[in-house]
């Protein structure tokens, strides 16, 4: 985002006039720049960067990352369908997640994905059985839970013993030994993902060190791995966080991987799209409550869950030109819940009709949206220089209601 009233070359007010609000807006240049940072920092390691589709799976966004050479990290058959529709390369696609269904495993095998990141012994057995039925060999990596504290919000911390993710560290060797006995599996790698929005490098490095101890033990047992996957990317700046330096991360990884014949894989999501996107909203009302002021906007928790769910901070910028003096207010949506807020106790200048930009809303915003309160999903626009494209049409009420019936049956 170049100047604060424009996305690249396009004024926000022009986008609002053309497409309405709420509106997710993405800068293509910012996405490219974010990916370049990874590619440059890790260049000497030639990593396979698998964009985490869950962060934002819009087909145009996937297509953009596919064109730039990315693979994909998926967690459902639906996300695999997105990758295929967007022209992504399934041989660069890895399948994560604790609950892959038989249908999803079959779909992934038919599409020759790069590998399954397997999270349990039961899943190993199921993939083997399905691969046998299809006459295929399934490439697999084991997701190991390294039991390190990622120091992030508990809902998005995944590498602790108490979390549902991965195979327990002390069971890892036995799980690999079992995997090598299953005839329709090919063991290719090891992976971990300890959490999201990481602001500290040390847990990532500690997790890598613990993985490499396993790699060495496995080599002694003649189980040679081809790749190591370090999971999601680094945290981003929402407010004033100190985020890890990618060059420092890459240097530490390069030091630990030097002399080893292991292809590096990474699964960043948030850091490739989070700060490339914003959510544009219109102020509906200003309300002075007994104890607080409220800026009531046309965007709500169904469009951006993160403040309600994780008490996440998103910066809010008034992108209208003439406005009022600043005051302190909660920025809230129209949904009938006290948990429906976008910002609390924020110093803001706003009046009815103003346009506000909720920043850093590229990741885990539209992809987590719902229809709560029968609100239609917002439109999405991609900006590239002076061009802008509607990449998701605003949902209509008839689309929202299309699968429902009002069925009158006496009981």
State the residues that interact with ligand LLP by CB under 6 A.
52, 55, 73, 96, 156, 193, 196-197, 231-233, 267-271, 306, 310, 364, 368
Q: Is the bond leading into 235 cis (omega within 30 degrees of zero)?
A: no
Residue closer to ligand LLP, measured from CB, 156 or 251: 156
Residue closer to ligand LLP, measured from CB, 52 or 257: 52
Q: What are the binding residues?
A: 233, 267-270, 306, 310, 337, 364
Residue closer to ligand LLP, measured from CB, 12 or 24: 24
Q: Are 374 and 334 in contact (CB under 8 A)?
A: no
CB of 97 to ligand LLP, least distance (A): 7
Q: What are the binding residues for substrate?
A: 270, 306, 310, 337, 364
Residue closer to ligand LLP, measured from CB, 32 or 129: 32
Convert 29-53 to b/e letters by CB count within 10 Å (16 or more is b). Answer: bbbbebbebbeebbeeeebbbbbbb
Residue closer to ligand LLP, measured from CB, 271 or 384: 271
CB of 152 to ligand LLP, least distance (A): 9
CB of 202 to ligand LLP, least distance (A): 16
Structure tokens at 65: 């990352």
Q: What are the binding residues for pyridoxal 5'-phosphate?
A: 233, 267-270, 364
Give residue number: closest CB to ligand LLP: 232
Catalytic residue list contains 336: yes
CB of 73 to ligand LLP, least distance (A): 5
Give me the catalytic one of 7, 50, 70, 336: 336
Neighbours of 310 (CB within 10 A): 15
Beta bridge partners of 73: 52, 94
Residue closer to ligand LLP, measured from CB, 8 or 191: 191
CB of 272 to ligand LLP, least distance (A): 8
CB of 3 to ligand LLP, least distance (A): 27
CB of 139 to ligand LLP, least distance (A): 17
Residue closer to ligand LLP, measured from CB, 185 or 266: 266
Separation CA 262–CA 246 (nearest Å): 20
Separation CA 118–CA 131 (nearest Å): 14
Give the residue numbers annotated as catalytic, written as ranges.
336
């Amino acid at each position: 985002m170049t100047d604060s009233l424009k996305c690249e070359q396009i004024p926000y007010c022009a986008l609002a006039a053309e497409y309405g609000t709420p509106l997710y807006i993405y800068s293509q240049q910012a996405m490219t720049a974010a990916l370049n940072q990874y590619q440059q920092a890790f260049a000497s390691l030639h990593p396979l960067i698998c964009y985490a589709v869950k962060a934002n799976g819009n087909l145009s966004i996937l297509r953009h990352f596919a064109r730039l050479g990315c693979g994909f990290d998926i967690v459902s058959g639906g996300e695999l369908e997105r990758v295929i529709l967007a022209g992504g390369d399934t041989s660069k696609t890895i399948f994560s997640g604790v609950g892959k269904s038989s249908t999803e495993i079959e779909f992934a095998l038919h599409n020759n994905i790069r590998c399954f990141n397997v999270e349990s012994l039961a899943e190993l057995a199921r993939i083997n059985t399905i691969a046998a039925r299809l006459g295929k060999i399934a490439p697999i990596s084991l997701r190991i839970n390294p039991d390190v504290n990622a120091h992030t919000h508990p809902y998005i911390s995944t590498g602790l013993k108490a979390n549902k993710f991965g195979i327990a560290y002390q069971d890892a060797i036995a799980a690999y030994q079992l995997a090598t006995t299953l005839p329709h599996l090919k063991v290719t790698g090891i992976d971990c993902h300890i959490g999201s929005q990481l602001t500290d490098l040390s847990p990532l490095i500690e997790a890598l060190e613990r993985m490499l101890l396993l790699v060495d033990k496995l080599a002694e047992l003649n189980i040679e791995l081809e790749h190591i996957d370090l999971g999601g990317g680094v945290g981003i700046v929402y407010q004033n966080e100190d985020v890890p330096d990618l060059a420092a991360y890459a240097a530490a990884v390069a030091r630990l991987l030097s002399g080893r014949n292991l292809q590096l894989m990474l699964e960043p999501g948030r850091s490739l799209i989070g700060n490339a996107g914003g959510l544009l909203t219109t102020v509906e009302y200003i309300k002075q409550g007994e104890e607080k002021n409220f800026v009531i906007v046309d965007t709500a928790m169904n469009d951006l869950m993160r403040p309600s769910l994780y008490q996440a901070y998103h910066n809010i910028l008034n992108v209208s030109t003439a406005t009022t003096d600043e005051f302190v207010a909660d920025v809230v949506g129209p949904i009938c819940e006290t948990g429906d807020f976008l910002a609390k106790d924020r110093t803001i200048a706003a009046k009815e009709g103003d346009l506000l930009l909720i920043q850093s809303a590229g990741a885990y915003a539209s992809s987590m949206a719902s229809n709560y309160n029968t609100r239609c999903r917002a439109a999405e626009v991609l900006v590239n220089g002076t061009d802008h494209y509607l990449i998701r049409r605003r949902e209509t009420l008839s689309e929202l209601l299309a699968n429902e019936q009002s069925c009158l049956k006496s009981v």
